[in-house]
């Protein structure tokens, strides 16, 4: 049998733990915002939005 994964135990310092929690919170907020956007577009316009459509940034902004 081939092992494809490994488990590691990390022991972060207090400062590293704070950074990890902040990163997790940022990811959660971003995911929930994107999900709310998708739900709004479907409920309002009955339109599914793809990932590519959702992350599109017009070149005029860049």
For 1-22, the pLDDT digits (tens) are: 788 898 999 999 999 999 999 9
Q: Given pLDDT bands bounded at 50, 70 and 90, which one contains residue 58?
A: low
Inter-residue contact 16 to 5 (CB < 8 Å): no
**Quick check: 50 pLDDT over 90?**
no
pLDDT in tens, 21-39: 999 999 999 999 989 989 9
Inter-residue contact 30 to 23 (CB < 8 Å): no
Q: Given pLDDT bands bounded at 50, 70 and 90, which one contains residue 62?
A: very low
Q: Considering the entire predicted model, what is its pTM? A: 0.70
For 43, list phi and psi in degrees, rounded to 5.
-65, -40
Q: What six digits make up the tokens of 34?
A: 């994107």
CA distance 3 to 20: 28
């Amino acid at each position: 049998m081939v092992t494809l994964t490994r488990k590691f135990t990390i022991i972060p310092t207090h400062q590293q733990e704070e950074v990890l929690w902040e990163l997790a919170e940022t990811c959660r907020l971003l995911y929930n915002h994107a999900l709310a956007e998708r739900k709004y577009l479907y409920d309002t316009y009955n339109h599914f939005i793809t990932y590519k459509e959702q992350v599109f940034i017009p070149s005029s902004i860049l």
